[in-house]
Amino acid sequence: MTEAEMSALLRETGAMLDGHFLLTSGLHSPMYVEKFNLLQQPKYTERLCRELAARFSGHKVDTVLGPMTGGILLAHEVGKALGTRAIFTEREHGRMTLRRGFTLAPGERVLVVEDVVTTGGSVREVIDVVRAAGATLVGVGLLIDRSGGRADFGVRDGEPVEALVHLDVATYAPAECPLCRDGVALTERGSKHLKA
């Protein structure tokens, strides 16, 4: 599956939306990726995760680890394709951690997966969990890197980052957002910043 075919699938499933969006990072953007419009279709999720798993098939992965929520589905499907264990991290008291009896052993080879990345902050937090356990980071697999390659995961040499789709989407600090300046209504779809 080519990157162009994967991008077309995102459009076809309504996962790529145009407008004025508040992202989880707090930044504003003219485009939002509603990943669950795609991930609600198991046949597409499985297909994309098989492609992601293929990128790491020679890396001797022991465990696939993703952050809650979308990362759970990806970890499961990539782990299934690689024949490995799949677990996830959660936030507890504002900090990414392993719960539910999940552990990582020193030297365990871990592939971190995530659905959509803008700044890389969540992935970096998951990598911190891997390193704190003394496990070995094999690499990072992403469905969509919307940072234009600018996301900083804190990976080291020999820890590849693979994304199935690369996007270079503008993001703005709220005070500098041209969409706000032009009076375009802000949508908080899927954001942690939703007001009750």
Q: With the C-alpha atoms ordered 118, 120, 121, 127, is the resulting torsion angle positive or negative?
A: positive
Q: What is the domain partition of the chain in residue ranges?
A: 3-181
* CATH class of residue range 3-181: alpha beta
- Residues of the chain falling short of pLDDT 50: 191-196
Report the C-alpha gap between 52 and 111 in whole angstroms: 11
Prediction pTM value: 0.87
List, in sequence order, every residue forming a beta bridge with 145; answer none if it has no partner. Answer: 117, 166
Pairing of strands 95-98, 85-92: antiparallel
Q: What is the pLDDT of residue 69?
A: 85
pLDDT in tens, 146-161: 888 888 898 988 899 9
- pLDDT at residue 194 in the model: 42
Give the integer Cα–Cα distance in Å for 54 and 56. 5
